Structure 1
Amino acid sequence: MRARVSLQIEASYSEPTRSANQVLRLTPRPFDGLHVLDWFVGVEPVATLRRSEDGFGNIVHSCSHAGPLEKIVITAEGLVETQDVAGVARGLNEKQPLDLFLRPHEDAEEIAAFAAKELGGEKDRLSRLHLLMAALHEKLNHAPSDAAPRPVADVFADGEGSAREIAQVLVAAMRAQDIPARFVSGLLLDGAEGAAFHAWAEAYIDDIGWIGFDAALGFCPRDTHLRLAHGVGFFGAAPRRAAISGYAEEKVEKRLTISAARQASWQIQQ
Structure 2
Amino acid sequence: MRKLQAAAMANLENPLKAVEFTAQNTFDKSVRFIRSSAALLLEFDPHARSFTPDEPRLTPSGLLIEDESENLLLHSSNYAHPVWTRGSCRLEVDTGQKASEVMKLIIDPNQNDYLYQTVSVIPNRSYTFSFFARSSFDTSIFLAIRDEVNASFIDKDVVYKPQSKGFTRVVHTFDTPKTCDSIRVYPTRFNSSSAELYLQHLQLEVGRRPSSPIATGGSSVVRAQEAIKIVPPSGAIGCGLTVDGKILVKPIGRHKKEVVISRGINGYLKSVVFV
- Computing the radius of gyration from Cα coordinates, the structure with the larger value is 2
By the TM > 0.5 criterion, same fold?
Answer: no
Which structure carries more strand by proportion? 2
TM-score (norm 1): 0.29
